[in-house]
Amino acid sequence: MPIPAAAALLYAPDGYDDGRPQVMGRQAAGAGLLGGLVRHAGFDRLVALTRGAADAAAFRAQVAALGAAVPAETLAEADFAQLARIGCLMLPGPELSEYAWRRRRLMGGAGLSLVGITHTIASEAAMDSLAELLLAPVQPWDALVCTSTAVRGAVQRLWQGEGAYLARRLGATRVEGPALPVIPLGVDTAALAPDPAARAEWRRRLGIAPQDIAVLHHGRLSFHAKAHPLPMFLGLARAAAAAPAGAKVVLILSGWFADATQRRAFSELARALAPELPIRLVERPEPGTTLRAAADIFTLLSDNIQESFGLAPVEAMAAGLPVVASDWDGLRDTVEHGVTGFRIPTLMAGAMPDLAQRHAQGDEPYDHYIAGVAQFTAVDVGAAEAAFAALIGDAALRARMGTAARARAIATYDGAAVMRQYAQLWAELAKLRQSGRGERAARLRGEEPVPRRPDPAMLFADYPSRRLTPETRLCLAPGLPDAAAALARLLAIAAIPGGAARRDLLPGAETFQAVLAQLEAGPASAGALVADQPPGYAARLFRALAWLVKIDVLRVAEESA
């Protein structure tokens, strides 16, 4: 039986679209999260906060395409406060700050929980978002999900440095961000199950004989932003000698090149380092391709700080393939060394502050920054060769590790397993939110909810000669004998383009007529003129009195003589 929705999504199509030829990791992760919600959350409805009608329509269409059996509901940005009835807003990235401030303005810190997720944390924008969380009004019932233990360590290290600075600069005694649970990305293990028919078809198309050993590398083909191919080319070329008699080792390169430079680099490196290694290039494979079925081994020897989890190896595990991966970031969590494959040791050079500095001051673009760090990060070629040789030369080992890999994928990374971890997180955050535990930096009475976005009438109080207050006495402007004449002038000016730049902020004509009628008897205070209005509408009318002065329908009484 469906349960009430415990979380809503912040939805924009770009964050959840894995149907494009060059899908990015964050998009694949977003699509996986949405798919997990549709298939495994068990909610009575799927709710999204969207920024426009087009995004709302895209959400409903994507949910329908995923086979949702429950309705899709969308809320506009103006309906943000309605999220309190659900209790949690899931964001597709780490940018919790904007919504923490919005929550503080509209409903207070205990109004709902905010849960973000990390992807790459190497870019300036990502690091700024993470550092900003120490200043934003995040609460103990908020969380930033880290997709790997390595990423959590990096976030904590960034916060330690930022927090130490804030403590010295401002005397801060408590510097805290949101909770940092580790929850991996999920995959649809049923859709990725081994497929003998697809295997036979792909190997026929690629010219790979039944006895040959095919090693698959899938993803972005980028030596500077994903994985330098040198250890893969060298390791495989040298390990090919371990192939059984009559069999050969074939490398399948599947993915996309960002540009001609990347294509040329891969081609020339392969020619120089592995001239005898047969390579099959499957460029820009269709989303959902069954190409994994053609392989016997999967490899990703990532050496790039832009990587944070590594979804492709998990998909390969779900397809029943043993994995040879670098001992790097999220791959350290996903690949169980000696059980589901092999992790190859990595080595990073010493201090590189000059790279960070040149990037920070704009001397080098992001791609140059991550390329520099990757250049000084090594993957152990000898260990890669040994791992490839072990799997190439032992069909039983491949089968045993492949079976273990699929079992691990089902138990740990299937959408149902991941969604159970999210459900537990939502419940824990809701319990904290409802416990009455004190809100960090709770808003004081009369305090601006967002200090850096204050009421302009307060911030710019020194600009005008005077401010309209409830005690300010107003009267009809000279030449206006009664309310009817004043209303006629008001309506005539409002009808002129530019006469009222924001007519949507003004009360209706009937309200203005009632106010002007009060002034027929003589001057009255602004407070008295709005006294009969409901509180929210009184504030709207009060500031509109200044507009009546602006268009010379009213005057400040002391200046009317």
* DSSP track, 435-448: TTPPPTTPPPTT--
Q: What is the mean pLDDT of residues 56-81?
A: 94
- In this predicted structure, the answer to whether residue 6 has a pLDDT above a threshold of 90 is yes
Q: Which residue has 């990037």 as its token pair? A: 359
- What are φ and ψ of residue 411, in 5° steps? -70, -35
pLDDT band at 561 (very low <50, low <70, confident <90, very high): very low
Mean of all residue pLDDT scores within the chain: 94
Strand arrangement of the beta sheet that strand 88-90 belongs to = 72-76, 46-50, 8-10, 88-90, 113-117, 143-145
pLDDT band at 14 (very low <50, low <70, confident <90, very high): confident
> All domains of the chain, ordered by start, with CATH?
8-185+421-434 (3.40.50), 196-413 (3.40.50.2000), 456-559 (no CATH)
pLDDT of residue 21: 56
Q: Which of 21-30, 340-349, 551-560 has the lowest mean pLDDT?
A: 21-30
Instruction: Map residue 426 onto helix, strand or coil.
Output: helix
| Under 8 Å between Cβ of 470 and 526 | yes
pLDDT band at 380 (very low <50, low <70, confident <90, very high): very high
d(CA 223, CA 269): 10
Q: DSSP characters for 86-125?
A: T-EEE-SSS--HHHHHHHHHHT-TTS-EEEEE-S---SHH
- In this predicted structure, the answer to whether residue 150 has a pLDDT above a threshold of 80 is yes
- In this predicted structure, the answer to whether residue 149 has a pLDDT above a threshold of 60 is yes
In sign, the C-alpha dihedral spanning 287, 216, 308, 114 is positive
pLDDT of residue 403: 98
Share of the chain above pLDDT 90, in %: 86
pLDDT of residue 23: 61
- In this predicted structure, the answer to whether residue 344 has a pLDDT above a threshold of 60 is yes
pLDDT band at 20 (very low <50, low <70, confident <90, very high): low
pTM for the structure as a whole: 0.90
Q: Which of 19-33, 91-105, 452-466 has the lowest mean pLDDT?
A: 19-33
- In this predicted structure, the answer to whether residue 480 has a pLDDT above a threshold of 90 is yes
pLDDT of residue 286: 82
pLDDT of residue 19: 64
Instruction: Map residue 306 onto helix, strand or coil.
Output: coil
d(CA 513, CA 532): 14
pLDDT band at 22 (very low <50, low <70, confident <90, very high): low
- Give residue-wise pLDDT tens across range 414-461: 999 999 999 999 999 999 999 878 889 888 888 888 998 898 998 999
DSSP 477: P
pLDDT of residue 29: 81
Q: DSSP characters for 263-299?
A: HHHHHHHHHHH-TTS-EEEEESPPTT--GGGG-SEEE
In sign, the C-alpha dihedral spanning 186, 15, 34, 124 is positive
pLDDT of residue 2: 84
Q: Which of 227-231, 319-323, 442-446 has the lowest mean pLDDT?
A: 442-446
* Cβ burial, residue 325 (10 Å; 0-12/13-18/19+): buried
Nearest CA among 10, 32, 5 for reference residue 19 = 32
